[in-house]
Chain A
């Protein structure tokens, strides 16, 4: 099974090297991959139908609890078959659709990666590997949406889609990790038994909210839906495959998968019902205000996803059954409609519904596919769609007090969806053929066969629902945790409320279709409300955040070195000062301090005067000279306090520094009097605070007991072991010789630096700008 899932990646990898051959004549060959996988998964149908659950686990990173554990049960199988089956059709379709395209190989590569990721997603038992595949679908989607990367809008849509689904992915990651922590396992199968632990956990709410965040962004629920219409910038095979049939259903899959674990709580059900209902209605209404075929289909897809969320929210057995069936229904007709749209676009060069009509005369098979799909979409018997719709109404009607409202919402949505389906699937083919389309001809069968297969499939299953009932629907419902024993799908239920509702839907829907024509006016009307659309609001927020970011960065990284220094030191003063005043006692034993002599006092006075003069003098030379005096005073202090070596070194270094300064200084300009008084006072306060802090700290440390273990070792062994009497020098060349070695290395490096700074001039022509 691992090989099956990874075959997509392998195929993509091969394409990197063998892509050129596949690009041209043999493009169709790549369809073998999804077809093979389809057959592979098909052979499990019997075992799944018999109630078996197939598991395979491969170790990967045991120390992080990440393994590649795969479970094939009812839901996974439905999704796996959809992914590979529609995948196969899309691969075939693509061979013709992008025939001779320069980057066809890349396109197949992305598609194959996507397919593999999607398979991994729906088969993963380990929630972390589920997340990994989830992210990979987002990434491959990014590349596919941006496939026409020369267009700005394409690129923007790709980034937008990745941003939205990326946020969702991260929420998922957090949710999964918290879930794993609460349950102590990362295996979904093992979580099933700890349902009560989770729902009693204080973290239940956050887990559910994070999961919703992931599902709603991926499955384009209101208010995160807007990336999906943008994603229609991708070539049509992508829209078909990712953005209607599979990837957007990953969120649905997630919700379904976790229904038995997290479901059946008020939070779960209510949220899903509300979000689903809002989405399905909002998106369905939007279809009226679109003239672009793909736009209409995008919104109707969002609406369908809303219906699914809504159904999962209802959570009853009927509703889950309806959801399972509707996933299949939708996959059939929506994929078909997209493919049909692609053909129209490909052959006529437009997707504008206001101009398209009468195309049946030039592309009959396509017309048949489109119309059949629209019929299934409309839920007109005997299509599979009719069955699906029945199940939806069946479940809303059994919702007790809320039944009327919920049913009304469902009916309204379906009426609008019927309209949308007809606009997309019927309108372009009926009516008069405009003259500019007369030369349009039927494309290669590779293009029209896939939608036709799907469309016919939708009708055949409607007629013989038994094909999918036992093999797919029942195991799926079981996997969702409901008893599926008494399920029986059939076309005819007798005269009842559900039938009446279906009839109403069809009747009103057709009426709407004939009365309401898509037009530019409606589009413009909708644009007036653009300002309150979620997309606009999110974009404004993002814009606001970008503004804030640049403001923040300019404040923090303001370019003034003195501000940087001040910030660092103020930070230091605050944290160190806080601790110093909170935790120490200020007991300083002045008696233990050494007594003063006149020389020392004079030296200190000299030093203090030197320091102050260095700071306040207006002359650079005087500043440097008095800095030299300070150094001199320090070496005197070293002399008094038993450090002759230090005194010598300090003195010579001090002299050298002053010489260097003087050598350099006379080339520099005089001090400018540039800082204002306020700044000086501020800096003075900071400096004094800093200095006092160091002083208090020093005194504190001095009051602590001293430990002389190390130094006495040096003193005792300097002569005996290291054969020297000047202990400081012995330390320098022997005990701590490496320090000295590195010290002379520092000097060497500095000298090279000085040399290259002064001597190296890059010739103008070599300058990096």
Chain B
């Protein structure tokens, strides 16, 4: 499997797919998509890369163990969730919004950060599971 073509292709595929996944994440509020599917696409990107270049190299690329993405994502979601409690004494998970919409993304608010958290967790989870299974297979 580790052919030159695949290796080369995966080098370009990885950033492309990652970009695409972020796109899916961001548009989720308006059209089908969202953090979960986006996260899955991002992990597929890394999996394809791993197929081509081997597990070790993928890990080097990631620098940290994908498992650490999970608490990071959870923490982002958590902070997004509790921010209204501190900012405006509203209940947990209440949407907080910036006044003006941003280009491309649209309205930005705590829900988006929450979705980003989902995205990161999903990447962390999928990669952890797949890497672990591959390593011990």
Q: Which residue of the partner chain B has the closest CB to A644?
A: B32
A741: chain B residues at CB < 8 Å are 77-78, 81, 93, 114
Give complex CA distance A728, B33 in Å: 10
* A747 in contact with B121 (CB, 8 Å): yes
Chain A residue at minimal CB-CB distance from B73: A744
Map CB proximity to A onto B6-38 as digits: 1 under 8 Å, 0 otherwise: 000000000000000000000011111111110
The reply to whether A740 and B32 contact each other, CB–CB distance below 8 Å, is no
Instruction: List residues of chain B with CB within 8 A of the CB of A685.
Output: none
Taking a contact as CB atoms closer than 8 A, the residue among A652, A723, A732, A748 that contacts B40 in the complex is: A652
Given contacts A744-B74, A755-B67, contact A726 B125 (CB under 8 A): no
Is A648 in the interface zone, CB < 8 Å from B? yes
Most chain B CB inside 10 Å of its own CB: which residue of A722, A733, A748, A751: A733
Tell me, yes or no, whether A575 is within 8 Å of chain B by CB.
no
Binary per-residue interface labels of chain A (690-734) against chain B in the complex, 1 for a CB within 8 Å, 0 otherwise:
000000000000000000000000000000011111101110111
**Does A554 interact with chain B (Cβ within 8 Å)?**
no
Chain B, residues 71-96, CB within 8 Å of chain A (1/0): the string is 10110011001000000000011010
| A595 interface residue per 8 A CB criterion | no
* Nearest-Cβ distance from residue B34 to partner chain A, whole angstroms: 5
- How far apart are the CA atoms of A750 and B132 in the complex, in Å? 12
Instruction: Determine if A723 and B34 form an interchain contact, defined as CB atoms under 8 angstroms apart.
Output: no
The answer to whether A725 and B121 have CB atoms under 8 Å apart is no
Q: Contact at B34–A751, with CB atoms within 8 Å?
A: no
1/0 per residue, CB under 8 A from B, across A550-591: the answer is 000000000000000000000000000000000000000000
Q: Which of B30, B97, B114, B134 contacts A733 (CB 8 A)?
A: B114
**B122 lies within 8 A of chain A by Cβ:** yes
Determine if B77 and A748 form an interchain contact, defined as CB atoms under 8 angstroms apart.
no
Does the CB pair B132–A759 fall under 8 Å? Answer: yes
Given known pairs A656-B40, A744-B74, A748-B121, the reply for A725 and B31 (CB within 8 Å) is yes
Bound Cα distance from A758 to B40, whole angstroms: 22
In the complex, the answer to whether A750 meets B125 with C-beta atoms within 8 Å is yes
Nearest Cβ distance between residue A754 and chain B, in whole angstroms?
5
Q: Which chain A positions have C-beta within 8 A of B112? A: 733
Closest residue of A by beta carbon distance from B106: A723
B115 touches A723 (CB 8 A): no
Interface centre among B111, B115, B122 (most CB of A within 10 A): B111
Contact across chains for B125 and A732 when beta carbons are under 8 A apart: no
Cα–Cα, bound, A703→B97 (Å):
42
- CB contact between A758 and one of B93, B106, B136 (< 8 Å): that residue: B136
The answer to whether the Cβ of A46 comes within 8 Å of any Cβ in the partner chain is no
- With A723-B109, A729-B29 known to touch, is A649 a contact of B36 (CB < 8 Å)? yes
A44 CB to closest chain B CB, in angstroms?
66
Question: When chains A and B are docked, how far (Å) is the Cα of A660 from the Cα of B125?
Answer: 13
B77 touches A645 (CB 8 A): no
Say yes or no: is A737 at the interface (Cβ < 8 Å to chain B): yes
In the bound complex, what is the Cα–Cα distance between A649 and B81 (angstroms)?
24
Q: A644-B32, A751-B128, A755-B67 are in contact. Are A737 and B134 (CB under 8 A)?
A: no
Q: Which A residue's beta carbon lies closest to that of B114?
A: A733
Residue B118, interface by CB 8 Å: yes
Query: For residues 115 through 137 of chain B, which have their beta carbon under 8 Å from a beta carbon of chain A?
Result: 115, 117-118, 121-122, 124-126, 128-130, 132-137
Tell whether, in the assembled complex, residue B118 and residue A748 are in contact, meaning their CB atoms are under 8 Å apart. Answer: no
Considering only CB atoms and an 8 Å cut-off, how many residues of chain A contact the other chain? 39
Flag if A737 contacts B81 (CB, 8 Å).
yes
A270 on the B face (CB < 8 A)? no
**Is A763 on the interface with B (CB-CB < 8 A)?**
no
A744-B74, A744-B121, A748-B70 given; A754·B111 CB < 8 A: no
Contact A748 B125 (CB under 8 A): yes
Q: What residues of B have a CB within 8 angstroms of the CB of A64 in the complex?
A: none
A729 interface neighbour in B34, B93, B106, Cβ under 8 Å: B34
Is A664 interfacial (CB-CB < 8 Å)? yes
Hey, what's the 0/1 contact readout for B39-83 against A, CB within 8 Å counting as 1?
A: 011000000000000000000000000010011011001100100
Pairwise interchain contact A737-B32, C-beta atoms closer than 8 A: no
CB-CB under 8 A from A725, the residues of chain B are: 29-31
Provide the A629-652 mask, 1 if CB < 8 A to any CB of B, else 0.
000000000000000110011001
Among the interface residues B29, B81, B112, B115, which one has the most CB atoms of the partner chain A within 10 A?
B29
Q: How far is the CB of A718 from chain B (nearest CB, A)?
A: 9
CA distance A754 to B133 in the complex (A): 8
Is A153 interfacial (CB-CB < 8 Å)? no
The verdict on A201 contacting chain B, using a C-beta distance below 8 Å, is no
A667 within 8 A of B: yes
**For the complex, what is the distance from the CA of A741 to the CA of B92, rounded to whole Å?**
12
- Contact of B33 with A744 in the complex, beta carbons under 8 Å: no
Question: Nearest Cβ distance between residue A126 and chain B, in whole angstroms?
Answer: 50
What is the minimal beta-carbon distance from A89 to any residue of chain B, in angstroms? 71
Query: In the complex, what residue of chain A is closest to B94 when comparing beta carbons?
Result: A734
Q: How far is the CA of A645 from the CA of B24 in the complex (A)?
A: 11
A4 to B67, CA, bound (A): 66
- Chain A's nearest CB lies how many Å from the CB of B18? 16
B34-A748 in contact (CB<8A)? no
Asked if A762 lies at the interface with its beta carbon under 8 angstroms from chain B, I say no
B28 near A729 with CB under 8 A, answer: yes
Q: Is the CB of B35 within 8 A of A733?
A: yes
Interfacial residues of chain A within 661-686, with CB under 8 A of chain B in the complex? 663-664, 667
B128 contacts A755, CB within 8 Å? yes
* Chain B residue at minimum C-beta to C-beta distance from A725: B30
Shortest A659–chain B CB gap in Å is 8
Residues in B neighbouring A149, C-beta threshold 8 A: none
A745 within 8 A of B: yes
Question: Could you tell me which A residues sit within 8 Å of B by CB distance?
Answer: 644-645, 648-649, 652-653, 656, 659-660, 663-664, 667, 721-726, 728-730, 732-734, 737-738, 740-741, 744-745, 747-748, 750-752, 754-755, 758-759
19 pairs of residues in contact across A and B, judged by CB atoms under 8 Å: A660-B129, A663-B137, A724-B111, A726-B32, A726-B33, A726-B34, A729-B34, A730-B111, A733-B29, A733-B112, A737-B81, A741-B78, A741-B114, A745-B74, A747-B125, A751-B128, A754-B129, A755-B129, A758-B135
Identify the 3 closest CB pairs spanning chains A and B, nearest first: A724-B29, A644-B32, A744-B121
Spell out B's residues near A (CB within 8 Å): 28-37, 40-41, 67, 70-71, 73-74, 77-78, 81, 92-93, 95, 97, 106-107, 109, 111-112, 114-115, 117-118, 121-122, 124-126, 128-130, 132-137
If A723-B97, A733-B34, A744-B73 are given as contacts, then 11 extra A-B residue pairs at C-beta distance below 8 Å, sorted by A number, are: A645-B37, A653-B40, A660-B133, A726-B28, A729-B32, A733-B112, A740-B118, A748-B74, A750-B125, A752-B67, A754-B132
